[in-house]
Amino acid sequence: MKRTFCNATRIALYGLAVFTLGCTQQQPAPDTRAADEAAIRDADAAWSSATATKQASAMVAYYDAQGSVFPPNAPIATGADAVGKVWESLFAIPGFSVGWQPKKVEVARSGDLGYSEGTYELQMNDPKGNAVTDRGKYVVVWKKQADGTWKALADIFNSDLTPASSAK
């Protein structure tokens, strides 16, 4: 009888320990959103500046390994090779240059995803060699990497120019 009581007592104590540990509240992770938003803003600005190199590899470095670019009037490009080809085709356009400015940056409370949105200005030459300026907007979804840096997971942009206004 004594042995049964000991086993029952052990089981009860184990159950109490598991219950107590399960009820212990975890401390929330520190809120790093302000620092993360600043890091994304800095990465976005550095990425814009990197366009001056006209090197696709410099552009690809800002994308997550599974990152995608969603160029207007073209298929989605995912992964370093496909994203690099999109940038190579842009850099091959005569007179091409582009720059952008983030207007809004937000990071999830979890600290692993964020986004930036803003405006861009793109220059290129038309088929007759005349300089053309395009202005538009963009959204980039950023993913925090294991090393703490932020990389673009999804990059989409489109022109403010409407077909009706381009015919004028």
- The pair of three-digit structure tokens given for residue 114, joined into one six-digit string: 């964020």
Phi, psi of 88 (to 5 degrees): -60, -40
CA distances for 11 relative to 5, 21, 23, 165, angstroms: 10, 15, 18, 78
CA–CA gap between residue 118 and residue 77 (Å, rounded): 21
* Residue labelled with tokens 């190199």: 53
Identify the band that residue 2 occupies on the pLDDT scale cut at 50, 70 and 90: low
pLDDT tens for residues 45-85?
A: 999 999 999 999 999 999 999 999 999 999 999 999 999 99
CATH class held by domain 32-160: alpha beta
CA distances for 4 relative to 7, 15, 73, 120, 166, angstroms: 5, 16, 76, 76, 88
pLDDT at 23 over 50: yes
CA–CA gap between residue 26 and residue 153 (Å, rounded): 30
Q: Region 115-126: what's the mean pLDDT?
A: 97
| Alpha helix positions (H), 24-151 | 33-50, 56-60, 80-91
Predicted TM-score of the model (pTM): 0.79
> How high is the mean pLDDT of the chain?
88
**Minimum mean pLDDT range among 4-18, 48-62, 86-100, 141-155:** 4-18
- In the prediction, which pLDDT does 161 show? 78
Percent of the chain clearing pLDDT 70 (strictly above): 80
